[in-house]
Structure 1
Amino acid sequence: MTASLPAFAGRTYVFRVDNGAAFRNTYSADGARLRWEGLGESAGQWEDVRLHVAEIAPGIYFVSWTEQSGITVSHVMDLNALTVRAFWTFEGEGGRVGQLHTGTLERVA
């Protein structure tokens, strides 16, 4: 039995986060990789990461990855409502810091 491709495979979205950050997220044709690029204040930052993906309901995906810096990102993408609930962790003063955010998606390609 073969798994179907995630609905975001081969597509590009602008992800606008509630903290003002924005990213251009381009997903590989097989849905297994993401190239994120910072926009606005984060312009010039980018990375190509391997994804862990699970469809949790039709059009709703749990997606996670680890960046070279050690930042971990987990988010639930709702492609029906074009929303994201994101949780990321990073090293901060006194240890690991976690942040929960919401955001919107705009399909651009």
Structure 2
Amino acid sequence: MSTATALPLFAGRGFRVSYDGLAADNVYSADSRHVHYAIVSGAHAGARGEAACQWQQLSEGVYAISWQEADGATVVHVDDFVGGRSLAWFTAADGSFHRMQGPLRVL
């Protein structure tokens, strides 16, 4: 979990993830414990908020990050901040499940 002494590469930074049918902006707090999210395109566009997040470094520059949104939606990312790729699993508040992958870029 996010108990490591060193901060992750994403701490205090913002990123856009672009998947087939959905794009979102994720801005992480300087202490890496919260994410501000905004879905900017796709069926869930307009959803936004802040959530506590947890993370685990998997390898150099690659992190698993998870959070639960205010409406109950759950999100798990495996983000490669060096290679610029994101894998995500998202269960929306309506129960629909989405597996996504695509580019990750700095905002």
TM-score normalised according to structure 1 size: 0.84
After superposition, the CA RMSD in angstroms is: 1.8
User: 2:30 maps to which residue?
Assistant: 29
TM-score normalised according to structure 2 size: 0.86
Q: State the AA in 1 paired with 2:83.
A: A
CA deviation map 1:10-51 (0-9, x unaligned): 1111111122x11111110011110011224514x3110100
Taking the aligned partners of 1:80 and 1:101, their CA distance within structure 2 comes to: 19
How many corresponding residue pairs?
A: 103
Q: State the AA in 1 paired with 2:25.
A: R
Q: Unaligned regions of 5+ residues in structure 1, if any?
A: none
1:105 aligns with 2:107: no
Q: Percent identity of the aligned residues?
A: 27
Taking the aligned partners of 1:14 and 1:65, their CA distance within structure 2 comes to: 16
Q: Unaligned regions of 5+ residues in structure 2, if any?
A: none
Taking the aligned partners of 1:38 and 1:72, their CA distance within structure 2 comes to: 14
SS of residue in 2 equivalent to 1:51 = strand
Taking the aligned partners of 2:86 and 2:57, their CA distance within structure 1 comes to: 14
